Amino acid sequence: METRVAFPGLGWEFFFDGTAFSIFGIEIKWYGIIITTGILLAFLMFYRFATKREDFIGDSIFNVMLIVLPCAIIGARFFYVVTSWDRFKDKSFWDIINIRNGGIAIYGAIIFGLIAVLIYNKVKKTSSLSMLDALAPAVMLGQIIGRWGNFINAEAYGWSTGVDTLPWRMELDNVIVDGQKLGTAAVHPTFLYESLWNLLGLAIIVFFVYRKKKFNGQVFFAYIGWYGLGRAYIETLRADSLYLVGELKFSVFVGVACVIAAIIGEIVLYRRYKEEKLEMSEYKSSFESIKIALASEEDSLNTDVYEDEDESLEEDEIEEIDAIDEEEEETLKEQDMLDGDAEDIEEDPKEE
């Protein structure tokens, strides 16, 4: 069955068949293809950042993805079922776990994936925050692409008073707002809002935050805060929200919690970074002082050695001079004796 998606203010109209093709009778949905594409591109970005900027080896990235990906899928389904329990309490276990019928919550994927990363790095004794810094922009890329699966399915839209006057309004044929069927109506393309919000956030994180990174965790908490802020607002427009308690929307609550956690995380990690930098500066200063003291002591020792050597040389020279004088005196004496003997020899013939 085709789904109509129109943008009357822009003069655009699209018709989509949710099924891309079939293999052995199994329908392959466009939504699944788009989500898979997002996951693959996200992995490539994660691999690049982790190996090039965070110094992880490639095998570690493959290993952690083999753990994180299934955990994220389980978490996404788990949170969706829990927050929609009235729809699933009378269903079979297969209906509960069958995601082919739709129903995943991105926050569940993020939370379960985060837990998996923390456990993996704890076991491997590597930095969780460093790995999360590499993973954060990759997750954003996956979300940017994945939201277009909602466009194909004509879902994840929003509604508010006056939406029908917006030039970018989206029009669908089977609109349901909080359980009430409106038929053909104008709605907010909230999938597009979130995709563009994440695109802007990705550009800021990759080209500014990551390049100016000072401490591990800075990029991760920037992502958490950015996404939480945008999602909390966009969720107030959503017409198909999951509710936590009463009128409190689950994603609004989690989004606000993410913003608070991000602010606290950035402050704590920045203070730790400043303390470590100060300690390193003091250590460096002490090291330089010790180095200067050792150099001065070495110069002093060298001076003493040179003075001793000079004194020793002077003594040697004096001894050599004395030895030469003594040799000259002995030579003179011997010469005098030889001269005396010569005179005696000359006088003897005269006497004869």
Query: How many angstroms separate the CA atoms of 110 and 224, rounded?
Result: 10
Which among 251, 261, 256 has a CA at the least distance from the CA of 108? 251
Global pTM reads 0.79
Query: How many angstroms separate the CA atoms of 214 and 21, rounded?
Result: 48
Q: Which of 31-45, 244-258, 297-311 has the lowest mean pLDDT?
A: 297-311
The pLDDT tens digits of the residues spanning 191-237 come to: 999 999 999 999 999 999 999 999 999 999 999 999 999 999 999 99
Instruction: Identify the three-state secondary structure at position 104.
Output: coil
The pLDDT tens digits of the residues spanning 93-127 come to: 888 888 877 788 888 999 999 999 999 999 999 99
- SS3 for 179-234 is CEEEEEEEEECHHHHHHHHHHHHHHHHHHHHCCCCCCCCHHHHHHHHHHHHHHHHH
CA 198 to centroid of chain Cα atoms: 17
The whole-chain average pLDDT of the chain stands at 86
Which among 218, 226, 223 has a CA at the least distance from the CA of 127? 218
The band of 290, judged by pLDDT with boundaries at 50, 70 and 90, is confident
Q: Which of 88-92, 107-111, 240-244 has the lowest mean pLDDT?
A: 240-244
